[in-house]
Amino acid sequence: MLHDILRREGWVVNHKRTERLYREEGLKVRRRRRKRVAVERTPFVIPSEANECWAMDFMSDVLSTGRRYRIFNVLDVRTRECLVCESDTSLPAARVIALLDQVAIERGYPKRIICDNGPEFRSRAFDAWAYEHAVTVAFIQPGKPAQNAFGESFNGKMRNEWLNVHWWRTIQEARQGNEEFRTIHNTIRPHRSLGRKTPAEFAAADGSNLSKQAVGT
């Protein structure tokens, strides 16, 4: 990923040299390996249009004071854009709904949302919101986070590349810092699954259906 960024910025360098410097500087992030059970999996069908399916999930982190806070992330499954990255000590259902409505002003409402069985997503307020805007809520099965693979993948990258190397003092710092990661993810970080484009570049080349959807909301 770093080699792709260097090439995008105009550096002409062999990938072997990039890898050597990467190892010498100790930039590799160690990831914990989990034991996996060999079971048959059902392939996830990628949406054919942007804004067709969103994936949302919560994360948690701790401030330097020891106080825990939550992070609410929303992704467009088609373009991999992070649409929301909100940090606060409390993010109830009403706040979640307000954030989704704010995104929908520009993009329109999705056809489907993938999420877990958290209390915010099981609330009457969220259920009424989804019914009002004709949004199908696809709850994953308990204990099977892989069914929300794109949300979990984003959370993992954010944890390894950002939260594990930053320690915020206040919730205001956390909100601004984590929003910075959203910008980096959308506009700077290339993705191999998107043809080495950033989510913003892929979305721009993927079509103009977002503007059509927004007009229809």
pLDDT digits (tens, 9 = 90+) for 66-83: 999 999 999 999 999 999
- Within a domain: residue 40? no
Q: What is the pLDDT of residue 103?
A: 98
Report phi then psi at 115, rounded to 5.
Answer: -155, 170
- Give the CATH number for residue 155: 3.30.420.10
* Lowest-pLDDT range of 14-23, 89-98, 143-152, 200-209: 14-23
The reply to whether 15 and 108 lie within a common domain is no
Six-digit token string for 199: 């989510």
Q: 70: which residues sit within 8 A by CB, 6+ positions away?
A: 58, 59, 60, 87, 88, 89, 90, 91
- Within a domain: residue 36? no
- Residue 165 is given by DSSP the state G
pLDDT class for 1, splitting at 50, 70, 90?
Answer: low
Six-digit token string for 21: 């410097």
- Within a domain: residue 57? yes
Q: Which domain holds residue 107?
A: 48-216
The reply to whether 59 and 101 lie within a common domain is yes
Q: How far apart are CA 28 and CA 185, in angstroms?
A: 18
- Within a domain: residue 74? yes
The reply to whether 23 and 117 lie within a common domain is no
Mean pLDDT score of the chain: 87
Per the structure, the count of domains in the chain is 2
Q: 174: which residues sit within 8 A by CB, 6+ positions away?
A: 61, 63, 69, 87, 168
The reply to whether 17 and 72 lie within a common domain is no
Six-digit token string for 69: 């806070």
